[in-house]
Amino acid sequence: MARQVEVDHNRCEGHGKCVLAAPEVFEHREDDLSHVLVDDVPEALVTKVDRAIRVCPRQAIAWRD
């Protein structure tokens, strides 16, 4: 089943660790926040997204239920 990931912009501080962990999924924009690039995370990128969730210092990234 396809999974979606989201960034809580109330928590994100834009340091970009998620972009380093999964550049295919997260993008740092002019608003200094991380944005999700894909609606559905391909199975091949799930491990990278899990890593981004782990390294985010603000716990701003979560899988959507």
| Run of H or E residues at 56 | none
Q: Which of 48, 50, 58, 62 binds ligand SF4 (CB under 6 A)?
A: 58
DSSP conformation letters of 20-38: HH-TTTEEE-TTSSEEE--
Indicate whether 49 belongs to the interface with ligand SF4 (CB under 6 A). no
Alpha-carbon dihedral sign for residues 64, 52, 35, 15: positive
Residues 8-47 that bind ligand SF4 (CB under 6 A): 12-18, 34
Q: How far apart are CB 46 and ligand SF4 at their closest, in Å?
A: 17
Which residues in this chain contact ligand SF4 in the complex, by CB under 6 A? 7, 12-18, 34, 56-58, 60-61
